[in-house]
């Protein structure tokens, strides 16, 4: 389904990754102006309607400055997508505090920082919408990916809470939880023998555009009565715990 994102300005963090990039391209193709963020400028997409902006979301001051810069340059901010990830996985007993803290800082606190910086502008937009990339591991944990799974669970709860708090001010907040999606991240997990559960009901893995289409739907006016929700894009599969 094509949506109308003309005149909308949408900020994607983690846009150098497979799912962030696909989301940027899908939204730009439907008329959005997309600000594409990640730490490494050289990995960020740059095309018509896609503007790269290097930002490390572990740096609260840099995140605040980026939100202000976007609004100064483009006049508004209507949507945010957080799609960051760190490839930290392995046996529970081999993961140190520092490993856990890196995942928490980049994905959980990173999302908090980006949403917090964007919220005044999203409220001003009148059609503000946030989509947080979580993961199927958030309710069905991957044994070798417990830091990421735990953070994904926290994000699903955060989204539910933010949806409740900011709905009355016109801002919708939702999560998308992918299962195995064809991507370098999935290749790395499989190579390490720590891949996502392979038991999808639909033939898999899914494609980055499958996730991007869900992100676009939740950002769009067609999802105007949906907030605080978590949409699985995981091909179905075994019963969720
Ligand atoms: N692919 C899958 O099968 C799958 C499955 C379940 C859930 N997910 C979730 O979906 C999201 C996107 O997945 P993906 O496959 O696209 O991941 P990815 O390819 O690893 O991309 C993640 C991006 O996050 C960026 N990033 C990491 N730390 C950052 C920081 N501090 N500040 C700004 N950007 C940062 C990285 O760019 P830099 O290093 O340049 O900063 C990278 O481009 C993630 O949340 C992931 O956990 C994916």
Per-residue tokens: 25 = 């391209």
Backbone angles phi, psi at 114, to 5 degrees: -65, -45
Cα(106) to ligand 1 centroid in Å equals 10
Q: Which distant-in-sequence residues (6+ apart) come within 8 Å of 31 by Cβ?
A: 4, 5, 6, 7, 8, 49
pLDDT band, very low/low/confident/very high, at 241 (cuts 50, 70, 90): very low
* Residues near ligand 1 (Cβ within 6 A): 13-14, 16-20, 38-40, 43, 56-58, 83-86, 106, 110, 133, 135, 148, 178, 180-181, 183-186
Distance CA 210, CA 76 (A): 28
pLDDT band, very low/low/confident/very high, at 239 (cuts 50, 70, 90): low
- Eight-state DSSP code of residue 178: E
Pick left, alpha or beta for residue 75 (phi over 0 → left; psi -120 to 50 → alpha; otherwise beta).
Answer: left
Q: What is the pLDDT of residues 12-56, one digit of tens each?
A: 999 999 999 999 999 999 999 999 999 999 999 999 999 999 999
pLDDT band, very low/low/confident/very high, at 194 (cuts 50, 70, 90): low
Backbone angles phi, psi at 34, to 5 degrees: -110, 130
Q: What is the pLDDT of residues 81-124, one digit of tens each?
A: 999 999 898 899 999 999 999 999 999 999 999 999 999 999 99
pLDDT above 60 (res 186):
yes
Cα(73) to ligand 1 centroid in Å equals 26
Inter-CA distances, 77 with 42, 117, 179, 235, Å: 24, 11, 29, 32
Mean pLDDT of the chain: 94
Domains in the chain, please, with CATH? 9-232 (3.40.50.720)
Name the packing angle between helices 146-166 and 110-125 (round to 10°).
20
pLDDT above 70 (res 197):
no
102 burial via Cβ count (<10 Å: 0-12, 13-18, 19+): middle
Cα(85) to ligand 1 centroid in Å equals 3
- The pLDDT, as a whole number, for residue 190 is 79
């Amino acid at each position: 389904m094509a949506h109308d994102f003309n005149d909308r300005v949408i900020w994607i963090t983690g846009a150098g990754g497979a799912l962030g990039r696909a989301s940027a391209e899908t939204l730009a193709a439907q008329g959005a102006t997309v600000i594409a963020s990640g730490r490494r400028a050289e990995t960020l997409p740059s095309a018509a309607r896609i503007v790269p902006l290097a930002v490390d979301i572990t740096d609260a001051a840099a995140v605040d400055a980026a939100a202000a810069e976007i609004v100064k340059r483009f006049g508004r901010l209507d949507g945010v997508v957080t799609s960051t990830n760190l490839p930290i996985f392995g046996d529970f007993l081999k993961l140190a505090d520092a490993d856990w803290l890196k995942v928490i800082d980049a994905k959980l606190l990173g999302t908090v920082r980006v949403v917090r910086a964007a919220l005044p502008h999203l409220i001003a937009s009148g059609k503000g919408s946030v989509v947080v990339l979580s993961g199927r591991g958030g309710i069905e944990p991957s044994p070798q990916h417990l830091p990421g799974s735990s953070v994904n669970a926290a994000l699903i709860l955060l989204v539910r809470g933010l949806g409740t708090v900011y709905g009355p001010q016109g801002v919708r907040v939702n999560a998308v939880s992918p299962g195995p999606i064809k991507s370098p991240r999935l290749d790395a997990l499989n190579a390490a023998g720590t891949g996502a559960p392979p038991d999808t009901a639909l033939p898999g893995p899914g494609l980055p555009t499958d996730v991007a289409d869900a992100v676009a739907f939740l950002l769009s006016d067609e999802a105007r009565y949906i907030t605080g929700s978590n949409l699985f894009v995981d091909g179905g599969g075994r019963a969720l715990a």
